[in-house]
Amino acid sequence: MTATTTDHSPAGPAVPRARGTLSAGLFAALASPQQAPPDVREAATADPYGEDLHLALYVLYELHYRGFADVAEDREWDPALMPLRRALEERFLGALRADVPVDRSTDEVFGELLVEPTDHRDSVAHHLEHNGELWQIREYAALRSLYHLKEADPHAWVIPRLRGRAKAGMVAIEYDEFGAGRAENIHAQLFAELMTDLGLDTEYGHYVEAAPAPALAVVNVMTLFGLHRALRGALVGHFACVEVTSSPGSRRLAAAMRRTGAGPAAERFYAEHVEADAVHEQVVRREVIGGLLAEEPRLNSEVAFGADATVHLENQLASHLLRAWRAGQSALLQDSERRTLSKSDCDPTL
């Protein structure tokens, strides 16, 4: 069945500008159900970490969240779009499986993650804490908004795929992420307040135009793992990796907010994660991972893969950010026709 409704989503952002033939073809198909999406053979040969693939995949995935104002809501599961999405996912997932270590155990992976590196040259949080300028902090927040304005949503996909201790532990952590019953404490709301302190636009998806492929990839991988039951172990690994590494990183980012005078809400967001994620780390390792592997021990290497894939993609993003910033340049896409946050917007002294 091909979707033909004109009932568009009232709350979603506009579809962004294309970055290549894949995204251009997809966006044409989203604009008109009579237009066929790109051939899957094109996706199979695309750069698995490239701008075109990740923008196309990001837009397809966003149909499962807020959607787009000019795209009919029932395109979410339009069968005409599924072959393309599957081809994009296979290309991306295949690259991840080829590029991260194989056959690692969760004990091995998390034993490494629990030890903070002594060499901080590749750490974005360390750079922002000690050397970052306010315009760099604003760029960082703009890029992270693609996830943090829907924080914890991608991980919620795994809940119905877990049982017992793993499910109970996951729901306990997600309950905190969603404000423990208080709307004003939902972490996505706290991040919106951080953005307000930094003078950023809090509209959902506003900065996708400015986000380079490495920033899109770290968001896409969560939904890739979340939408596929077969990848539930990888999503648990991703979630655990984020929780285990969050507390020390958030401590540095809170210090960066204080040093640069970013504002109380900006500091609060990361200060909140220092305490909360220190507790979450224990729950996710003992209950979520421990419970999952007690039920399904064969998923051990998949949990490890999810964590290693997360580190791999975060390292790619860190390299992109630090290379640009150390050269005194913006890390955002700088096409003058795109709606971007330029360096001059970030630094009032320029």
pLDDT at 341: 57
In DSSP terms, 8 is beta-bridged to 72
Query: So what's the pLDDT on residue 337?
Result: 37
pLDDT of residue 306: 98
Question: What are the backbone dihedrals phi and psi of residue 72, each rounded to the nearest 5 degrees, phi first?
Answer: -60, 140
Domain boundaries, the chain: 21-98, 103-346
Helices 82-99, 213-227: axis angle to 10 degrees equals: 110
Q: 103-346 adopts what CATH topology?
A: Heme Oxygenase; Chain A (1.20.910)
Sign of the torsion formed by the C-alpha atoms of 96, 60, 195 and 335: positive
Q: Look at the block and give the residue holding tokens 């809400």.
A: 265
Ranges of residues in the chain whose predicted pLDDT is under 50: 1-6, 336-340, 343-344, 347-350
Predicted confidence at residue 202, as pLDDT, reads 97
pLDDT of residue 6: 45
Q: What is the pLDDT of residue 12?
A: 81
For residue 344, the model assigns a pLDDT of 46
According to the model, what pLDDT value does residue 116 have? 79
State the alpha helices, DSSP H only, in the chain: 21-31, 40-44, 51-62, 82-99, 106-113, 124-130, 134-148, 153-156, 164-177, 187-197, 213-227, 232-260, 264-283, 290-295, 300-326, 343-346
Q: What is the pLDDT of residue 7?
A: 52
- d(C-alpha 159, C-alpha 171), whole Å: 7
CB 234 within 8 A of CB 306: yes
Q: Give the per-residue pLDDT at 40.
A: 96
Q: Can you say how many angstroms the Cα of residue 114 is from the centroid of all Cα atoms in its chain? A: 21
Scanning 75-212, the segments in alpha helix (DSSP H) are: 82-99, 106-113, 124-130, 134-148, 153-156, 164-177, 187-197
Q: In this predicted structure, what is the pLDDT of residue 277?
A: 66
- Say which amino acid occupies 76: E
Instruction: Identify the pLDDT of residue 304.
Output: 98
